[in-house]
């Protein structure tokens, strides 16, 4: 079934009667059903999308998209927006290879103003648009939809600080789906806030201002009265920053939302409309603050259970359980994550040791810097952050950790291709941006067993900061395939010798790809040497020099971009020691990696083991596989 055009026609109306509101509420249920229908098959972001349906309908009722640009913070809550802007049928391909993105994407539609996968960028983008509109004398207005979680990052307040000073017209819709505001205070503050931001009080303010010289005491009293009202509203912070405030509103009441949005639009000022919504609205299994319904794998829509669950433990689970055992033995072990407690597994440790393990909200910079001072005070801080999010703390990695040579331990989750989340989430840059920082030690496990060894090494390492990376869901290499050995600082591990002169060098999850490639090459009677590099910084220079004498062909495997990657490090090493070897990297090319199932993306990029084996045979002069 496709979306009935009558609903799209209603969205274009200037005024709405009771029948229109009935139809719009019907539309909300239709959108929710379509989101559930597709996400249950494809996976994706669910609870935030279900909770924001009425907000997005109201936005389309009041504002003129795309002329009034909609900026979705993170944009994982924008599925209803996609469905209302010509992507009803293509929504079936959500997050699939060559399908539509799970985030806003301008290449899909001119209704998607900006791509967004990381939080807290929306208000800054809105300020930039508002400046451009002012310079172009445009009467359009940017509309920002930002969640309360994204308001925990500093970038949002940097933007608010300037916006409150410069007073550009902009509507910021604060989607509050976690805060608990008591009913009496909420009802009073909603009433007072609407009065304060409404036309009546604006006129009162103007009249009082004009009478200032004649009635200074009355003006003083009026100002004090208004300030006293603000003190019992949640909008105090925004008012003090120089923004108008309306709210909190029921984020599922379309009549209330549309009225507030119209008021906000007509004020021609920077204004925050505070709405309260329920995550997972309309789907009982997902309603409420249940983090595991935020991003989901395919699930049975009727039963609310995941369809496919692997019995083997994920690297994230191995990390959490191993660190928990060590934390029980060593009270100096502490941990920090930035709004991803369950995603990084640190929720397990927060539960057992709430005074030693912390979720600091969406604040990667803060997480990194405080870890450095914890280390200086004699603790052993583990910072567990996704590869794609750690890059947000690049300056702190240099300035607060690297220069001070503090022994902070960075556990980098979701390293490599992460699949359906696409360009904004691929964890393929951490090697490049960490490798250049002095005093950092970089190493990587190849499977779950060596991940335990990596944690053991990290907890006892004191000579500066260290970082180890591991993939999402599972390693390519099956557990216990190769006996694990402890990490020895700066030492590689030879997994297989050969006389062919061909050496496959893997780093981290790349070891699994190297081994799978070697198996295919063996079927063509080509035996390869296999090395687990283990340490990228420092390199095992003595062992590599010896390997350079034996193997003239080196093929490099790691889940990272080529520029700044493992291959570059080995090329520089070979040049430094005048080694006569040919090095070929099967790392990722200089391009952002699109969304889709990981194996499908690897095949498209030509880095699946079968493709790689064919390339190696061609490079070394053998016949194709």
Mean model confidence pLDDT for the chain: 89
Of 365 and 419, the structure prediction assigns the larger pLDDT to 365
Q: Is 217:140 a contact under the CB 8 Å cutoff?
A: no
- Catalytic pick from 108, 364, 568, 587? 364
pLDDT band (50, 70, 90) for residue 422: confident
Instruction: Give the range among 26-40, 183-197, 368-382, 470-484 with minimum mean pLDDT.
Output: 183-197
The counts of H helices and E strands in the chain are 25, 21
Structure tokens at 389: 């999010």
What 321-326 contacts at long range (C-beta under 8 Å, 24+ apart), as own/partner pairs, is 321/345, 321/348, 322/451, 322/452, 322/455, 322/456, 323/349, 323/382, 323/411, 323/455, 324/348, 324/349, 324/352, 326/455, 326/456, 326/459
Q: Is the pLDDT of residue 203 over 70?
A: no
Q: Is the pLDDT of residue 615 over 90?
A: yes
- Catalytic pick from 95, 230, 281, 392? 392
With H, G, I as helix, E, B as strand and everything else as coil, classify residue 70. strand
Q: How far apart are CA 427 and CA 316, in angstroms?
A: 15
Which domains, ranges and CATH numbers included, belong to the chain?
5-195+233-297 (3.40.50.970), 197-231 (no CATH), 315-469 (3.40.50.970), 493-620 (3.40.50.920)
CA-CA-CA-CA torsion for 277, 281, 285, 291, nearest 10 degrees? Answer: -40
* 297-318 average pLDDT score: 85
pLDDT in tens, 138-172: 999 999 999 888 888 889 999 999 999 999 999 99
- pLDDT score, position 309: 66
Q: Is the pLDDT of residue 193 over 70?
A: no
Q: Which string of DSSP letters, residue by residue, matches 544-606? A: HHHHHHH-SEEEEE-SSBSTTSHHHHHHHHHHHTT---EEEE-SB-SS----S-HHHHHHHHT
- The model carries a pTM of 0.87
Q: How far apart are CA 154 and CA 573, in angstroms?
A: 40
pLDDT band (50, 70, 90) for residue 622: low
Instruction: Give the range among 17-26, 275-284, 308-317, 505-514 with minimum mean pLDDT.
Output: 308-317
Instruction: Give the CA distances from residue 292 to residues 221, 287, 494, 520, in Å, rounded to whole numbers and listed in that order.
Output: 51, 11, 40, 38
Which string of b and e fits 291-311 if b means at least 16 CB within 10 Å?
eebbbbeebeeeeeeeeeeee
Structure tokens at 291: 């983090």
Q: Would residue 534 show up in a list of annotated catalytic residues for this protein? A: no
pLDDT band (50, 70, 90) for residue 476: very high
- pLDDT score, position 215: 53
Q: Which residues are annotated as a binding site for Mg(2+)?
A: 148, 177
- pLDDT score, position 323: 98
Percentage of the chain modeled with pLDDT above 90: 74
pLDDT in tens, 239-266: 888 999 998 899 999 999 999 999 999 9
- Catalytic pick from 32, 190, 230, 279? 279
Q: Would residue 392 show up in a list of annotated catalytic residues for this protein? A: yes
Phi, psi of 469 (to 5 degrees): -120, 150
- pLDDT score, position 223: 55
- pLDDT score, position 204: 45
Q: Which residues are annotated as a binding site for thiamine diphosphate?
A: 76, 117-119, 149-150, 177, 283, 364
End-to-end CA, the chain: 46
User: Which residues are paired to 561 by β-bridges?
Assistant: 588
- pLDDT score, position 418: 92
Q: Is the pLDDT of residue 195 over 50?
A: no
- How many other CB atoms sit within 10 Å of the CB of residue 201? 15
pLDDT band (50, 70, 90) for residue 212: very low
| DSSP-assigned letter for residue 325 | H
With H, G, I as helix, E, B as strand and everything else as coil, classify residue 300. strand
* 482-498 average pLDDT score: 95
- pLDDT score, position 6: 92
Q: Is the pLDDT of residue 300 over 90?
A: no
- pLDDT score, position 183: 37
Name, of 96-105, 256-265, 274-283, the range with top average pLDDT: 256-265
Contacts of residue 257, Cβ cutoff 8 Å, sequence gap at least 6: 54, 55, 58, 249, 250, 251, 275
Q: Is the pLDDT of residue 217 over 70?
A: no
Distance of alpha carbon 303 from the chain centroid:
28
Contacts of residue 602, Cβ cutoff 8 Å, sequence gap at least 6: 417, 608
* 521-535 average pLDDT score: 95
Structure tokens at 14: 């200037």
């Amino acid at each position: 079934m496709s979306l009935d055009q009558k609903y799209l026609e209603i969205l274009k109306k200037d005024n709405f009667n009771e029948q229109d509101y009935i139809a719009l509420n019907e539309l909300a249920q239709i959108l929710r059903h379509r989101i559930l229908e597709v996400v249950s098959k494809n996976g994706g972001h669910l609870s935030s999308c279900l909770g924001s349906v009425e907000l997005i309908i109201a936005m389309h009722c009041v504002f003129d998209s795309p002329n009034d640009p909609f900026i979705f913070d993170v944009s994982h809550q924008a599925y209803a927006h996609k469905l209302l802007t010509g992507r009803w049928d293509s929504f079936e391909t959500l997050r699939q290879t060559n399908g539509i993105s799970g985030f806003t994407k301008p290449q899909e539609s001119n209704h998607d103003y900006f791509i967004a996968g990381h939080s807290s960028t929306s208000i800054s983008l809105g300020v930039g648009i508002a400046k451009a509109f002012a310079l172009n004398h445009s009467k359009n207005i940017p509309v920002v939809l930002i969640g309360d979680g994204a308001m925990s990052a500093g970038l949002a307040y940097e933007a608010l600080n300037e916006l409150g000073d410069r007073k550009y017209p902009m509507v910021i819709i604060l989607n509050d789906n976690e805060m608990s505001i008591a009913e009496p205070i909420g009802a009073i503050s909603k009433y007072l806030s609407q009065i304060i931001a409404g036309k009546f009080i604006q006129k009162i303010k103007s009249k009082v201002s004009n009478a200032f010289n004649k009635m200074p005491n009355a003006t003083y009293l009026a100002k004090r009265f208004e300030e006293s009202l603000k003190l019992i509203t949640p909008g105090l912070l925004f008012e003090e920053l120089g923004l108008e405030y309306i709210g909190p509103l029921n984020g599922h009441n379309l009549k209330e939302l549309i009225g507030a949005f119209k008021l906000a639009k007509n004020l021609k000022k920077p204004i925050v409309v505070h709405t309260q919504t329920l995550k997972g609205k309309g789907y009982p299994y997902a309603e409420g603050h249940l983090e595991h319904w935020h991003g989901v794998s395919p699930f049975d829509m009727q039963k609310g259970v995941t369809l496919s669950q692997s019995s083997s433990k994920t690297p994230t689970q191995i990390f959490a359980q191993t660190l928990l055992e060590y934390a029980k033995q060593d009270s100096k072990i502490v941990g920090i994550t930035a709004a991803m407690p369950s995603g990084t597994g640190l929720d397990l440790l927060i539960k057992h040791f709430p005074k030693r393990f912390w979720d600091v909200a969406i604040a990667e910079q803060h997480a990194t810097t405080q870890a450095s001072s914890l280390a200086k005070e004699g603790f052993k801080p583990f910072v567990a952050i996704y590869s794609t999010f750690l890059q947000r703390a690049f300056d702190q990695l240099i300035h607060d950790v690297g220069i001070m040579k503090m022994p902070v331990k960075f556990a980098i989750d979701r390293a490599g291709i992460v699949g359906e989340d696409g360009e904004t989430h691929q964890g393929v840059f951490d090697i490049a941006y960490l490798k250049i920082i002095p005093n950092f030690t970089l190493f990587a496990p190849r499977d779950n067993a060596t991940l335990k060894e990596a944690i053991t090494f990290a907890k006892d390492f004191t000579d500066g900061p260290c970082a180890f990376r591991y993939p999402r869901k599972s390693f390519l290499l099956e557990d216990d395939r190769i006996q694990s050995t402890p990490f020895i600082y700066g030492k590689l591990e030879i997994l297989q010798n050969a006389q062919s002169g061909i050496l496959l060098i893997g780093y981290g999850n790349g070891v699994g790809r190297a081994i799978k490639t070697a198996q295919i090459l063996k079927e063509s009677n080509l035996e390869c040497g296999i090395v687990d590099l283990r340490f990228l910084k420092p390199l095992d220079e003595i062992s590599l020099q010896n390997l350079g004498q034996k193997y003239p062909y080196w093929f490099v495997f790691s889940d990272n971009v080529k520029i700044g990657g493992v291959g570059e490090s080995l090329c520089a090493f070979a040049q430094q020691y005048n080694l006569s070897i040919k090095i070929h990297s099967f790392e990722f090319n200089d391009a952002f990696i699109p969304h889709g199932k990981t194996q499908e993306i690897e095949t498209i990029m030509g880095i699946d083991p079968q493709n790689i084996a064919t390339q190696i045979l061609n490079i070394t002069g053998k016949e194709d596989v």
